[in-house]
Amino acid sequence: MTRRDGPAVRDTPGTLPGATPTNCQDTPMTGPTITLAEAVTATGLSASTLRRRRGDLVELGATHSKSGWRIPITALVALDLLPAVTPPDTPPGDTVAGAVTPPDDVEVVALRAEVVALRQRLVDAEQARAVAEAVATERDRVIEAQRQHLRMIEAPAEAVPEPVPIRVLPEPTTARRRWFLRWAA
């Protein structure tokens, strides 16, 4: 509650500093308007939050019709939903494209020559890498072949086993036949 040259007047969100709610209602704010969806995107708030602030928005000039919401940008600024930022003043003939100066032809030629030299260095480096990979692969193959040869040279010769003497089994006696021969007969 603040006092303004008379009885206490309740400050409500959405009122301009120094203005009473009745002044805002009598003279709605004008200016560029945006839709509810655009206001949601611009403020980062949800649509339901903006709908809850409907009373304040209507006091500040927002309208709701069949075609949808029309919310003045000044109403969003007055409710502190958007920052009150204005673009910097620029002279009428000054543009961003005019602020950029084109490079000198000498600079362009020098930079293009440097790009060509760097591309050639890149090609040379890639060729050197490919040659180094081929050499490394060949060395690995030679090392593996030499490793196999060393294994064959260092391996002990297999000893020839001594012949086992053959035992001569005595002839079976005929007096007794083996049980499976008896059974088969």
Six token digits for residue 139: 């060395």
Within-domain flag for 149: yes
* pLDDT confidence of residue 164: 79
* 114 and 56 within one domain: no
Q: What is the CATH number of the domain that holds 41?
A: 1.10.10
Within-domain flag for 30: yes
Tokens 């919401």 correspond to 69
* pLDDT confidence of residue 163: 79
Asked if residues 83 and 43 have their Cβ atoms less than 8 Å apart, the reply is no
* 117 and 73 within one domain: no
* 108 and 71 within one domain: no
pLDDT band at 11; cut points 50, 70, 90: very low
Task: Specify the pTM.
Answer: 0.33
**Percent of the chain clearing pLDDT 70 (strictly above):** 62
Within-domain flag for 35: yes
Within-domain flag for 17: yes
pLDDT at 145 over 60: yes
Number of structural domains (the chain) is 2
Six token digits for residue 148: 């196999």
DSSP letter assigned to residue 166: P
* pLDDT confidence of residue 60: 85
* pLDDT confidence of residue 74: 85
Q: Higher model confidence: residue 9 or residue 173?
A: 173
Structural domain for 56, as ranges: 8-78
* 74 and 107 within one domain: no
Within-domain flag for 96: no
